[in-house]
């Protein structure tokens, strides 16, 4: 292109032809021909090369001062994206006018910090599922990878409230053992109250559903004695506990589980400090950039510790699992306690003339006993306490 423009300029300067004739031969306008002549006169052959069409001034581009602050903050927090950077610099940095996600994204691309990617549009029928109020459901799980100076690793029992994303448990332990997990769960209930339901995976510390024969583990017993409905995920379905899995991702990146702690106590202190920041200061995108603490506002109205449950291991007590249709069978007598209790463990007090049906600390129904024969099976499959 530069060589062709040079030939056109020489035709005017060297051959003495008119601008109109040369412009007509090269199929360009007279204005373009005059521009080529002016550029050749000002800069010689280099003036005829292609030039950038970028405007000399872009009034809506981010000021250089704020670009520097964006890049400085990004270096300090490499896991923050454009949206988080815009939010933090606007709220705490006092950016005026407020920074937008798209402006920060373009700034990061210009600086080569990130590679431009095609935007993924969310489906119109997409919906975020969550409970309507705090304490309706807790999601619990265990996560490992906390490095200690003696070469071992620790695990943590983690739990979040489904409605508010408030972290109710982050208890470290040397090994994933039933007693340690249950101690962490009980401590969380003492601190925040007893939830209506708890959702876990099918780990052995949470359920004896897949044991041979099925048994009631300590975690299930604590749920039953405190009236907590224990919900299990389907096997190989980690998306069911998506909120706690997302919390684990945030924990690994922002808390940085790659750092090495001298002792378990030191690691627990650091984790407690980060959890406090997560609950009270860190904005959460799914909450409209509010903090989990702002939606978790029922702590003062809840029981401060788990409600003690009377022992129901006498000869007159039997335990049954409520069927999917809400029916409990005792001594060939079928009694409906409600479909909403399906899958729950139901304690039944058997006397000579009456049957009392309990779920947790709630008395559901008292009916007359129609059969007088012995109740042979004291515990239903999957609800019997483990023999020691």
| pLDDT, block means (10 residues), the chain with 388 residues | 84 86 89 89 84 77 86 90 88 80 89 82 71 92 93 94 94 91 93 93 88 82 89 83 92 90 94 94 87 76 50 78 88 87 83 84 83 65 40
Question: Cα(314)–Cα(349) distance, rounded to whole angstroms?
Answer: 9
Same domain for 259 and 229: yes
b/e code 243-277 from CB counts within 10 Å (16+ = b): bbbebbebbeeebebeeebeebeebbebbeebbee
Same domain for 378 and 287: no
Same domain for 202 and 179: yes
pLDDT confidence of residue 308: 53
pLDDT confidence of residue 237: 78
How far from chain centre, in Å, is Cα 29? 61
Same domain for 261 and 158: yes
Same domain for 363 and 237: no
Look at residues 249, 272, 301 and tell me which one is the last residue of a structural domain.
301
Look at residues 274, 301, 328 and tell me which one is the last residue of a structural domain.
301
Same domain for 259 and 328: no
Same domain for 175 and 142: yes
> Edge to edge, what strands does the sheet with 354-359 contain?
317-321, 345-350, 354-359, 362-368
Same domain for 162 and 42: no
pLDDT confidence of residue 386: 36
Q: What angle do CA 345, 380, 209 make, to 5 degrees?
A: 70
Same domain for 230 and 297: yes
Same domain for 293 and 153: yes
Same domain for 269 and 158: yes
pLDDT confidence of residue 72: 92
Alpha helices in 112-217 (DSSP H): 178-192
The residue range of the domain holding 160 is: 137-301
Domains in the chain, number: 3
Question: Cα(179)–Cα(217) distance, rounded to whole angstroms?
Answer: 10
Extended strands (E) in 106-147 = 137-147
Same domain for 279 and 216: yes
């Amino acid at each position: 292109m530069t060589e062709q423009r040079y030939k056109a300029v020489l035709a005017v300067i060297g051959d003495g032809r008119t601008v109109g004739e040369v412009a007509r031969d090269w199929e360009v306008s007279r204005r373009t021909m005059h521009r080529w002549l002016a550029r050749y006169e000002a800069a010689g052959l280099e003036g005829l090369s292609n030039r950038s069409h970028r405007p000399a001034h872009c009034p809506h581009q981010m000021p250089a001062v704020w670009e520097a602050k964006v890049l400085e903050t990004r270096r300090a927090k490499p896991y923050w994206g454009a949206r988080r950077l815009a939010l933090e610099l606007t709220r705490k940095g006092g950016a005026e006018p407020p920074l937008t996600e798209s402006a920060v994204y373009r700034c990061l691309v210009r600086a080569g910090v990130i590679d431009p990617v095609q935007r993924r549009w969310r489906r119109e029928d997409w919906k975020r599922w969550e409970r309507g109020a705090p304490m309706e459901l807790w999601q619990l799980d265990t996560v490992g990878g906390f490095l200690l100076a003696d070469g071992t690793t620790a695990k943590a029992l983690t739990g979040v409230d489904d409605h508010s994303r408030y972290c109710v448990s982050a208890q470290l332990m040397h090994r994933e053992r039933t007693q340690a997990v249950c101690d962490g769960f009980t401590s969380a209930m003492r601190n925040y109250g007893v939830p209506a339901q708890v959702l876990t995976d099918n780990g052995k510390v949470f359920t004896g559903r897949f044991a041979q024969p099925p048994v009631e583990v300590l975690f299930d017993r604590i749920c039953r004695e405190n009236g907590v409905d224990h919900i299990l995920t389907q096997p190989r379905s980690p998306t069911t506990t998506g909120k706690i899995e997302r919390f684990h991702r945030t924990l690994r990146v922002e808390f940085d589980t790659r750092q090495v702690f001298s002792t378990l106590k030191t690691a627990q202190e650091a984790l407690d400090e980060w959890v406090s920041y997560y609950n009270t200061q860190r904005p959460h995108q799914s909450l409209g950039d509010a903090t989990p603490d702002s939606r978790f506002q029922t702590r003062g109205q809840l029981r401060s510790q788990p409600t003690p449950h009377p022992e129901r291991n006498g000869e007159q007590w039997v335990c049954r699992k409520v069927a999917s249709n809400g029916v409990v069978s005792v001594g060939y007598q079928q009694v409906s306690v409600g479909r909403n209790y399906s899958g729950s463990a139901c304690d039944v007090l058997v006397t000579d003339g009456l049957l009392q049906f309990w779920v947790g600390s709630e008395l559901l129904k008292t009916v007359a006993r129609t059969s007088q024969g012995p109740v042979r099976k004291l515990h239903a499959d999957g609800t019997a306490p483990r023999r020691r």
